[in-house]
Amino acid sequence: MQSTATEPQPLTVAPGEPIRLADFDTRYKGDVKGKKAARKELADNREALARLGYRLYAESRRALLLVLQGMDTSGKDGTIRHVMRGFNPQQCHVKSFKQPSIEELDHDFLWRIAKAQPPKGEIGIFNRSHYEDVLIVRVHDLVPESVWRRRYERINMFEQLVAEGGTTLVKVFLHISRDEQRERLQARLDNPDKRWKLSRADVKERAFWDDYQAAYEEALTRCNTRDAPWYIVPADRKWYRNLIVSRLLRQTLERMDPQFPPAEPGIESLVIE
């Protein structure tokens, strides 16, 4: 899947095909001319997303859920900040899934995910998600392998139910290189205003890079379905990452084609005094 001059790098693969992250170039930028062109298209996409989001809110029959996963520093926060700003805050909600609380640990791993689903007419953004329960728990042996291996099938069943309930899922893996992660961690360390975003634990996690890559490859492969495909977005170039996610959201909403509901019959004849 490594891109060539005549063959663009795909964003996704057919369900059932194995996904090897090494086949995807993290610095790929396709036919985009550069940052200036990307910023212009991103601005156009944000305007279109605002219009489409407004129609989705008015229609109030379906919902959209953006799931963002990726290694530390891959740009989940930055993607949300740059791409989602065009949406009405009233209809757009971000949920970050950190270490489970005591209450959440007392329930099934999907309990807190199900609670955070966006209502009809709204857009949900998951900053990390239910996939942490086949990623970090696997890498750090937090639960037995017999437990986390069963979760792939349960995730697929859950996402199928979500889709059948009227929510369109856009699952994005922000794909960065190990070298790029090192540069971003160093940049945080060097900037006093960003050191709060860095912890010793973040640095220690780099030792598990290969384990996380293996865990992601299996999750991406086994949970890449017709109802909820995975998109692998090159994320070494932040401007390209933002552009591609905006394209995915715009294309998804255009396919959904939300419509304004019909007005109350005869309302056009009212006279406002």
Domain boundaries, the chain: 24-256
| pTM of the shown model | 0.94
Distance CA 216, CA 224 (A): 12
Per-residue pLDDT 10s for the chain (273 aa) are: 444 445 799 999 999 999 999 999 999 999 999 999 999 999 999 999 999 999 999 999 999 999 999 999 999 999 999 999 989 888 999 999 988 999 999 999 999 999 999 999 999 999 999 999 999 999 999 999 999 999 999 999 999 999 999 999 999 999 999 999 999 999 999 999 999 999 999 899 999 999 999 999 999 999 999 999 999 999 999 999 999 999 999 999 999 999 999 988 988 889 898
**Region 24-256: CATH code:** 3.40.50.300
Virtual torsion, Cα 236, 239, 245, 250, nearest 10 deg: -160
CB atoms under 10 Å from CB of 266, counted, come to: 7
Q: Angle, nearest 10°, between helix axes 35-59 and 238-256?
A: 30
Q: Quote the DSSP letter at residue 106.
A: T
- 96: amino acid identity, one letter: S
